[in-house]
Amino acid sequence: MAKRPILILPDERLRAIAEPIDKIDDGIRQLAQDMLDTMYDAPGIGLAAPQVGELRRIVVMDLSKDDEPKAPIVMINPEILSYSDETVTTEEGCLSIPELYYEVERPAEVKVRYTSLEGETVELEAGDRLAICIQHELDHLDGVLYIDYLSRLKRDRVLKKFQKQARRAG
């Protein structure tokens, strides 16, 4: 089990665009396992590689409940093919913006294509929490954070809070 430190806002790597993964090798398989270990330990339901300082296009998720067996999903080079017109507003949080939760409006359903750890191309239609989690994690690959969907006032308040904490810690 290898846990990695999770980057916290205002770390600039959280705003970087992740690079596509050319081939799935032992390094990528180890990164996926480290990300799952880190996510489970946090605890969270999703984690993108940029959150652990790896600017690669890979995300991990597991929406199973505590009393259910683990059901990890690893998506390599994921891309959303379509969004539903219907939207939902749900409370989101982020391991890179700890202890803050805000209501965010997103499409209710998505269709995503990705490569599995076994190298297979997978197309998945997702709704509910999975659709929200996919959108949240894929945003990370493009340097977008869920607070970017908030009003400017709320977003600025969050940024100031974390900049202040970073200055105190540094």
Task: Give me the residues paired with residue 106 across strands.
Answer: 88
- Determine how many CB atoms are found less than 10 A away from the CB of residue 110: 21
Residue 91 a catalytic site member:
no
- Given 54, 92, 109, 137, the catalytic residue: 137
> Is 112:133 a contact under the CB 8 Å cutoff?
no
Pairing mode, strands 73-83 and 109-115: antiparallel
Write out the catalytic residue numbers. Answer: 137
